[in-house]
Amino acid sequence: MDLKEAIQRRRSIRKYLNKEIEASDIKKIEDLIEEINTKSQLHFRIVYDDTKSFARMVKYGWFENVKQYIAIYGKNDKDLDRKAGYYGEELVLNLVMMGLGTCWVAGTYDKKMAKSLKEEDERLVAIILFGYGEEVQSNRKSKAIQQVTKLNEDTPPWFKEGVEAALLAPTALNQQRFKIDYNNGKCVIHPLIGHLTKLDAGIVQYHFEVGSGHKAEVK
Ligand SMILES: Cc1cc2nc3c(=O)[nH]c(=O)nc-3n(C[C@H](O)[C@H](O)[C@H](O)COP(=O)(O)O)c2cc1C
């Protein structure tokens, strides 16, 4: 599986199997995190065996067998949310390629434990759950291409492919609150006003770049 296939396959998985992650996979994930921490200057960290932070949501039937996750922290500058989304989604798609299920979570958990593990000058952005999950059928709704961009005779085919990949990106509450512009070879993603839209925009940026094979800016 490559990154493009991982984009097609990925769904948010909230119900996991009660099965330990293979040691060789854990090693791969730890190596990947180290690589991402170095290039992003963010602080991704695996938290193992924390069932407490999800106990309430498990009781409601929202999550099942959540045990480990990756918490994302960083120094609080104005690009932190976008960067966390961009590099977090690189991690998500790599986990999908390893056959793991994932789910971004910014709201529906008890943040006490994740916050207690941050350095003093850091902010907790979000977490990414991962584990072996059951295949789920997704009936997720998506915006149409023309709701997020304008295609015309100047827009190359690769731009449309990028937008299609962007529309498969996870966003908080599936809000898809972004626009993508093409102008003279330059692609710009605009987060709209709203909760978590900058974090979403970083995720969308990663999908767009994989789908199109071209860089995009977030403004
Ligand atoms: C930034 C962000 C925050 C999210 N927070 C939560 C959350 O707190 N709880 C939850 O169950 N899902 C959360 N999600 C998952 C979204 O609900 C999910 O991505 C969206 O509904 C689209 O579905 P899909 O990921 O299966 O394509 C979050 C996703 C993103 C990108």
Beta carbons within 8 Å of 65's beta carbon, 6+ residues apart: 15, 16, 17, 18, 131
- Going by pLDDT thresholds of 50, 70 and 90, the confidence category of residue 169 is very high
- Specify the DSSP class assigned to residue 118: S
Q: Is the pLDDT of residue 136 over 80?
A: no
Sign (positive/negative) of CA torsion 103, 74, 201, 184?
Answer: negative
Ligand 1 pocket check for 12: Cβ under 6 Å: yes
- Going by pLDDT thresholds of 50, 70 and 90, the confidence category of residue 123 is very high
The stretch 194-212 carries a mean pLDDT of 98
Find the 128 Cα to ligand 1 centroid distance in Å: 10
Burial class (CB in 10 A: 0-12, 13-18, 19+), 32: middle
Q: How many CB atoms lie within 10 A of CB 61?
A: 9
Q: What is the pLDDT of residue 15?
A: 94
Ligand 1 pocket check for 198: Cβ under 6 Å: no
Ligand 1 pocket check for 199: Cβ under 6 Å: yes
Q: pTM of the predicted model, to two decimals? A: 0.97
Q: Is the pLDDT of residue 109 over 80?
A: yes
The stretch 168-187 carries a mean pLDDT of 97
In tens, the pLDDT along 5-56 reads 999 999 999 999 999 999 999 999 999 999 999 999 999 999 999 999 999 9
- Specify the DSSP class assigned to residue 219: -
Ligand 1 atom 29: residue of nearest CA: 172
Q: How far is CA 132 from CA 31, 38, 101, in A?
A: 19, 27, 6
Q: What is the pLDDT of residue 22?
A: 93
Residue among 150, 192, 154 at smallest CA distance from 175:
192
Q: Is the pLDDT of residue 183 over 80?
A: yes
Q: Is the pLDDT of residue 135 over 80?
A: no
What is the percent of the chain with per-residue pLDDT over 70, rounded to a whole number? 100
Q: What is the pLDDT of residue 72?
A: 98
Q: What is the pLDDT of residue 134?
A: 74
Go through the domains of the chain in sequence order and give each one's CATH number. Answer: 3-131 (3.40.109.10), 145-218 (3.40.109.30)
Find the 172 Cα to ligand 1 centroid distance in Å: 5
State the first-to-last Cα distance of the chain, in angstroms, to the nearest integer. Answer: 31
Q: How far is CA 70 from CA 31, 66, 125, 170, 190, in A?
A: 13, 12, 11, 16, 27
The stretch 81-97 carries a mean pLDDT of 98
Q: What is the pLDDT of residue 53?
A: 97
Q: Within the chain, how many helices (H) and strands (E) appear?
A: 8, 7
**Contact (CB, 8 A) for 39 and 23:** no
Burial class (CB in 10 A: 0-12, 13-18, 19+), 190: middle
Three-state SS string over 78-116 comes to: CCHHHHHHHHHHHHHHHHHHCCCEEEEECCCCCCHHHHH
Q: What is the pLDDT of residue 124?
A: 98
Find the 156 Cα to ligand 1 centroid distance in Å: 30
